[in-house]
């Protein structure tokens, strides 16, 4: 019978199947909500019909300049409408978007443009110097929205008419996102149309986006396509509020003025928001996804106190941004705020469209669910990249054993929630014992005088390595080195407490990650030890 069924299983022309493409989200919202404001940028307000028209102009102008299907088009811009438009216009033209990290230098940008085989670059006026010697056609974006702005003139050269977009295979690449690796050459992470579509739907569902939602653009759009919210917000017909430069004061102003309901950011940005002089408890809840680095329980407690609803997610560029979510459990409501923050500070469980996440030992066996045994976090499925562009060796290495290797070290708790302990390269090995720098950092952060901190290995004659803490104090606060060390000794196994503390600002990447390698560099200068 099964065999018989197979013969009539498929009707003609596959009218029952459309290739998944996030471009369809904009098409639908422009159809359903043509007059609704889709994008806000300062005084500019763009409706969904206008957004769609601008995307048609961008796509047709790209095709007009000879950009062929599958060719790469790069954008170098902060969170402005042009970069949002690129997320639809470039794929609508059949091309592949390469959004470039705005904090990179000329060399790195040149490398990415060359490695990706980019055909054409769009650069914000503040970043145009990074591509001034580049041999490719460059369109400058003055971000005025007015004629005379080269980007606007480029759009004007295109047609407002609907550009027919139908991707032939949803496993084609929609975007190549170069990782802002702290060292080594950036690698080009390939996202598929299918993966982008599924992850967008997931983010909309998981962050409870609705047509009346208003999303403030804080996480960079160049970072995992804004964790796929460039597409998710559009999918439900909600509103994007752009922001050239992340600034906690401006954010508080926009919360009120634009009725913000959602924003996403790394812990360091959230910390700036909750500690800003304008900070106050919000009447209506603000849903904020937190990712990019583990938030300290202290930060989570502060957010809750202001009526922010944290959605703690974890992932990497290789996983379209968020792969796990720390799903709150009903019984956590009965815990103390501190205990609850500890539960919420864990990276959690695979999201609805992701495959189950694993923490494995070197032989790919699952570590016990004891909350103690460390292993590497590995993932697979629709929430994982297709591979690194033009880098079969790195791809094969990353997918060894058929699973994507995150390079993150974590534990599996009894309830199936994972918790990160470290980046593989950050972990401290002291007298044969592993020390999780995150554990030490979370302890230090719970000290009332501390704003944020980073712990790295420093050389030690006897133990090989020992932890050292770099601490940024909260405004107006003071603490001594000994005080911090004693504070840790009271709360941690003695060998985990830092042997030294240095006060000052922390070096960070554009996405708010602390650059521990820079701190290590200084400490290990002149030694043969790894500085990666």
Neighbours of 33 (CB within 10 A): 19
Smallest distance from a second copy to CB 386, Å = 5
Beta-carbon contacts of residue 486 (< 8 Å; ≥ 6 apart): none
From the list 424, 458, 444, 448, the residue with the least C-alpha distance to 489 is 444
By beta-carbon proximity to a second copy, the closer residue of 129 and 208 is: 208
Whether the Cβ atoms of residue 292 and residue 316 lie closer than 8 Å to each other: no
Smallest distance from a second copy to CB 11, Å = 4
By beta-carbon proximity to a second copy, the closer residue of 379 and 488 is: 379
The beta strand positions in 415-511, using DSSP E, are: 418-423, 428-430, 433-435, 450-460, 464-473, 500-503
Smallest distance from a second copy to CB 364, Å = 13
Whether the Cβ atoms of residue 377 and residue 420 lie closer than 8 Å to each other: yes
Which tokens is 158 given? 């295109």
By beta-carbon proximity to a second copy, the closer residue of 243 and 385 is: 385
By beta-carbon proximity to a second copy, the closer residue of 2 and 362 is: 2
Which tokens is 255 given? 């919360």
By beta-carbon proximity to a second copy, the closer residue of 252 and 389 is: 389
By beta-carbon proximity to a second copy, the closer residue of 325 and 506 is: 325
Alpha-carbon gap, residue 513 to 380, rounded angstroms:
24
By beta-carbon proximity to a second copy, the closer residue of 400 and 429 is: 400
Smallest distance from a second copy to CB 242, Å = 21
The DSSP output letter for 396 is H
Smallest distance from a second copy to CB 71, Å = 6
By beta-carbon proximity to a second copy, the closer residue of 404 and 524 is: 404
Smallest distance from a second copy to CB 52, Å = 13
From the list 456, 453, 435, 457, the residue with the least C-alpha distance to 444 is 453
Burial (Cβ within 10 Å: 0-12, 13-18, ≥19) of residue 154 = buried
Smallest distance from a second copy to CB 114, Å = 11
Concatenated DSSP letters of 169-205: -TTSEEEEEE---SSS---EEEEEHHHHHHHHHHHHH
In whole angstroms, what separates CA 257 from the centre of its chain?
A: 26
Smallest distance from a second copy to CB 309, Å = 12
By beta-carbon proximity to a second copy, the closer residue of 192 and 443 is: 192
Whether the Cβ atoms of residue 187 and residue 394 lie closer than 8 Å to each other: yes
Helix/strand/coil for 173:
strand
Listed in sequence order, the DSSP H helices in 352-511 are 392-398, 437-445, 481-491
Residues in the chain: 532
Smallest distance from a second copy to CB 48, Å = 12
Smallest distance from a second copy to CB 16, Å = 5
Helix/strand/coil for 257:
helix
By beta-carbon proximity to a second copy, the closer residue of 10 and 529 is: 10
Whether the Cβ atoms of residue 193 and residue 172 lie closer than 8 Å to each other: yes
């Amino acid at each position: 019978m099964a065999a018989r069924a197979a013969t009539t299983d498929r009707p003609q022309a596959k009218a029952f199947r459309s290739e998944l493409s996030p471009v369809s989200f904009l098409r639908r919202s422009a159809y359903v909500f043509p007059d609704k404001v889709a994008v806000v940028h300062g005084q500019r307000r763009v409706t969904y019909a206008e957004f769609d028209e601008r995307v048609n102009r961008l796509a047709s102008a790209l095709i007009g300049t000879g950009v062929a299907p599958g060719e790469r088009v790069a954008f170098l811009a902060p969170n402005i409408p042009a970069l949002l438009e690129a997320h639809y216009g470039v794929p609508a033209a059949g091309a592949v978007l390469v959004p470039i990290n705005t904090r990179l230098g000329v060399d790195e940008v040149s490398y990415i443009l060359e490695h990706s085989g980019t055909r054409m670059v769009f650069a914000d006026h503040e970043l145009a110097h990074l591509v001034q010697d580049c041999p490719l056609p460059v369109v400058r974006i003055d971000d005025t929205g007015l004629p005379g702005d080269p980007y606007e003139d480029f759009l004007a050269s295109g047609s407002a008419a609907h550009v027919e977009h139908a991707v032939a295979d949803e496993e084609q690449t929609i975007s190549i996102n170069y990782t802002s690796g702290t060292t080594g050459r950036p690698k080009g992470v390939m996202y598929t149309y299918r993966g982008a579509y599924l992850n967008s739907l997931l983010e909309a569902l998981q962050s409870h986006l609705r047509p009346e939602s208003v999303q403030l653009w804080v996480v960079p759009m160049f970072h995992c396509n804004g964790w796929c919210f460039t597409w998710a917000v559009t999918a439900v017909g909600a509103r994007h509020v752009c922001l050239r430069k992340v600034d906690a004061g401006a954010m508080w102003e926009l919360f009120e003025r634009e009725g913000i309901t959602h924003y996403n950011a790394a812990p360091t940005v959230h910390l700036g928001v909750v500690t800003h002089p304008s900070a106050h408890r919000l009447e209506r809840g603000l849903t904020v996804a937190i990712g990019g680095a583990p938030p300290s329980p202290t930060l989570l407690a502060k957010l809750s106190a202001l009526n922010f609803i944290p959605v703690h997610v974890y992932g990497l560029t290789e996983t379209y941004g968020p792969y796990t979510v720390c799903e709150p459990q009903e019984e956590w409501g009965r815990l103390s705020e501190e205990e609850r923050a500890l539960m919420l500070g864990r990276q959690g469980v695979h999201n609805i469209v992701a495959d189950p996440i694993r923490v494995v030992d070197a032989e790919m066996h699952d570590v016990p669910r004891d909350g103690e045994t460390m292993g590497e976090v590995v993932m697979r499925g629709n929430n994982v990249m297709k591979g690194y562009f033009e880098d079969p060796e790195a791809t094969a290495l990353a997918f060894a054993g058929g699973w994507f290797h995150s390079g993150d070290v974590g534990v599996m708790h009894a309830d199936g929630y994972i918790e990160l302990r470290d980046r593989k390269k950050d972990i401290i090995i002291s007298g044969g014992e592993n020390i999780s720098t995150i554990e030490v950092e979370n302890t230090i952060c719970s000290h009332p005088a501390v704003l944020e901190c980073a712990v790295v290995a420093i050389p030690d004659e006897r133990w090989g390595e020992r932890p050292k803490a770099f601490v940024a104090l909260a405004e107006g606060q003071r603490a001594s080195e000994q005080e911090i060390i004693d504070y840790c000794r009271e709360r941690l196994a003695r060998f985990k407490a830092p042997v030294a503390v240095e006060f000052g600002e922390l070096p960070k990447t554009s996405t708010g990650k602390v650059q521990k390698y820079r701190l290590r560099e200084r400490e290990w200068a002149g030694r043969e030890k790894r500085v990666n």
